[in-house]
Amino acid sequence: MSICNWPGPLRPREKLRQHGAPSLTDNELLAICLRTGYPGVDAVGLASELLDHFGGLRGVLNAGPADLLRRRGMGLAKAAQFEAVLELARRQLREQLQRGDPFNRPAVTKQYLSMRLGGRRHEVFCCLFLSSQHHLLAGEDLFTGTIDGAAVYPREVVVRALHHNAAAVIFAHNHPSGVAEPSQADLRITRKLTEALQTVDIRVLDHIIVGDGEPLSFAEQGLL
């Protein structure tokens, strides 16, 4: 049955209008973004198929356009809508970090980094450059590697930190395996980077690993 034939209170848009977005299920929220399905399957059905195929909401939103376009019922317009929604969320979180102190808002910082790095198929090392008040000046993906790791060069990190006139930094990288546990290589490079930045009086506040589930914070684990 097409959504337009559903009883009014059951339609996702009507439900949102009457009860607010939190009352909707993941597939109902996705259905509103999709707007339509394909012959024989309505938007809610298509949303359910996507959630099943990609392993949940995070998987759908982190799927690349090429992966989305392989699914029946998905076209360029729908894939673009998903990219736009995700980018709006990233920018809203980035604005929060620019106005506030990322080190004092670890939940927001982790959420931003999860949206920035989650779902990447290769390891990416990024850096948040902060002012003396720990406001976000810039965030950059500095190094990209294979699925097993990324080569990180302390000299380049120092150059970029000085370019942004940063007083402090937060490092982050993803583990495509999904396991957010630090390796010995992660610990070694963090020490090297910390020592390199100390020579120019720039503090390292944290190093966050993004995997599946809750990101791991070196600061919270006492690893810095």
Interval 100-127: pLDDT, tens: 777 677 788 888 888 888 777 889 999 9
Of 23, 56, 87, which one is at a domain's C-terminal end?
87
Residue 196 maps to which CATH number?
3.40.140.10
Give the torsion sign (CA, 210, 212, 215, 221): negative
11: domain range?
3-87
| Domains identified in the chain, total number | 2
Of 53, 87, 121, which one is at a domain's C-terminal end?
87
Task: Report in angstroms the alpha-carbon separations of 20 from 14, 71, 108, 144, 147.
Answer: 9, 29, 23, 40, 40
Domain match, 105 and 63 both: no
Worst-scoring range by mean pLDDT, 8-17, 26-35, 140-149?
Answer: 8-17
Of 64, 87, 110, which one is at a domain's C-terminal end?
87
Flag whether 224 is in a domain.
no
Flag whether 54 is in a domain.
yes
Flag whether 222 is in a domain.
no
Domain match, 194 and 156 both: yes
Flag whether 94 is in a domain.
no
Flag whether 92 is in a domain.
no
Q: In this structure, what token pair is assigned to residue 179? A: 């396991």
Domain match, 106 and 152 both: yes
Buried b / exposed e along 50-74 (16+ C-beta atoms within 10 A): bbeebeeebbbbbbeeebbeebebb
Domain match, 104 and 207 both: yes
Flag whether 57 is in a domain.
yes
pLDDT one-digit tens code per residue, 55-105: 887 778 777 788 888 999 988 888 888 888 888 887 887 787 777 777 677
User: What is the structure's pLDDT at 146?
Assistant: 65
115 vs 4, higher pLDDT: 115
